[in-house]
């Protein structure tokens, strides 16, 4: 795995890719670019164990959302339009006219809306765990779900983050929780700016304009697995699949299965992928 930066209008954009050869050079070989967007408030580190496997059939580039991971924070509060356009900025910077788009959770909303912002440009779209909220759920989350945490002289804010992560991801072991705490710290005290963007966003409008996505992926042990059927009903798609036993972090906990599932979609002509 190698990391790099792109100079974006709002600041440095950090990304990870497989191998030492730059993505733009590998694209010359004819494989499609796969722009990967992560869930919030985490980072592209969540894909580091799967990038080499994905590189067998595409050119995967896992991006740190602005304000998360190692990417510079945006100026002011961004809406989903601006987060979605990050995918096209990456594609343009690397010289990919028709990339594949992948997103997990918050990143799934951004990937779907990116496809809606430039209809027909994406070679395909894969969404992993689409957060489909009711109006009441959206209002409740905007009210008090992810408040900024205060800094504490005795380090109690570190305990607050640890307890929040354990509450959000009860199946995560202490090693993974430690890594997620690192992502929270990188995101800063107000770690929920991208959350607020999707809670205010019209997901149905994105789904109507994006065209059918190629794969809606869920996991039976996913924290938001209960939303998978909502996504199946709300988002036009060509294929939906649930991975048995998969958690939010299947890309790093079982990278072979994750990569194989994407290969069944990305590395096949449309209409030949197996259910």
Q: How far is CA 19 from CA 27, 29, 100, 138, 239, in A?
A: 13, 15, 19, 40, 31
Distance (Å, whole) CA 177 – CA 165: 7
* Per-residue pLDDT at 214: 98
Statement: residue 264 has pLDDT above 80? yes
* Per-residue pLDDT at 269: 62
Mean per-residue pLDDT, 93-115: 97
Statement: residue 164 has pLDDT above 60? yes
* Per-residue pLDDT at 270: 55
Statement: residue 203 has pLDDT above 70? yes
Statement: residue 29 has pLDDT above 90? no
Query: Which residues 6+ apart lie within 8 Å of 216 measured at CB?
Result: 127, 130, 228, 231, 232, 235, 237, 239, 240, 241
Helices 174-187 and 156-168, packing angle to 10 deg? 120
Statement: residue 20 has pLDDT above 90? no
> What percentage of the chain has pLDDT greater than the value 70?
97
* pTM of this structure: 0.96
Residue extents of the structural domains in the chain? 2-142+193-266, 147-191
Mean per-residue pLDDT, 35-63: 97
Q: Which CATH number fits domain 2-142+193-266: 3.20.20.210, 3.20.20.140, 3.40.50.740, 3.40.50.1820?
A: 3.40.50.1820
* Per-residue pLDDT at 267: 81
Q: How confident is the model at residue 274 (pLDDT cuts 50, 70, 90)?
A: very low
Distance (Å, whole) CA 50 – CA 218: 17
Mean per-residue pLDDT, 74-99: 97
* Per-residue pLDDT at 28: 86
Write the pLDDT tens digit of every residue in 105-132. Answer: 999 999 999 999 999 999 999 999 999 9
Distance (Å, whole) CA 153 – CA 160: 13
Distance (Å, whole) CA 182 – CA 42: 9
Distance (Å, whole) CA 193 – CA 201: 13
Rg (CA), the chain: 18
* Per-residue pLDDT at 37: 98
Mean per-residue pLDDT, 153-163: 97
* Per-residue pLDDT at 272: 39
Quote the tokens at residue 154: 């005795």
Q: Print burial letters for 171-203: b (CB count within 10 Å at least 16), e (below 16).
A: ebeeebbebbbebbebbeeebbbbbbbbbebeb
């Amino acid at each position: 795995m190698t990391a790099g930066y792109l100079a974006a209008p709002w600041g440095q954009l950090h990304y990870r890719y497989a191998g030492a050869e730059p993505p733009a050079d590998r694209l010359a070989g004819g494989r499609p670019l796969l722009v990967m967007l992560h869930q919030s408030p985490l980072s592209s580190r969540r894909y580091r164990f799967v990038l080499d496997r994905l590189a067998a059939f595409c050119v995967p580039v896992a991006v740190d959302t602005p304000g998360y991971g190692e990417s510079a924070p945006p100026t002011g509060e961004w809406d989903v339009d601006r987060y979605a356009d990050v995918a096209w900025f990456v594609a343009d910077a690397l010289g990919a006219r028709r990339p594949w788009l992948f997103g997990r959770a918050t990143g799934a909303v951004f990937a779907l809306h990116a496809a809606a912002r430039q209809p027909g440009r994406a070679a395909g779209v894969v969404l992993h765990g689409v957060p489909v909220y009711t109006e009441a759920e959206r209002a409740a989350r905007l009210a008090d779900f992810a408040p900024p945490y205060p800094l504490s002289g005795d380090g109690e804010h570190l305990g607050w983050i640890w307890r929040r992560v354990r509450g959000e991801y009860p199946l995560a072991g202490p090693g993974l929780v430690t890594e997620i705490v690192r992502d929270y710290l990188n995101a800063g005290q107000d770690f929920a700016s991208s959350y607020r963007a999707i809670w205010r966003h019209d997901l149905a409008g994105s789904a109507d304009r994006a065209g059918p996505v190629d794969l809606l992926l869920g996991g039976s042990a996913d924290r938001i697995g209960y939303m998978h059927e909502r996504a199946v009903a709300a988002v036009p798609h060509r294929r939906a699949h649930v991975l048995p036993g998969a958690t939010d972090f299947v890309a790093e906990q079982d990278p072979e299965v994750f990569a194989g599932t994407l290969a069944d979609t990305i590395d096949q002509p449309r209409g030949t992928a197996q259910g």
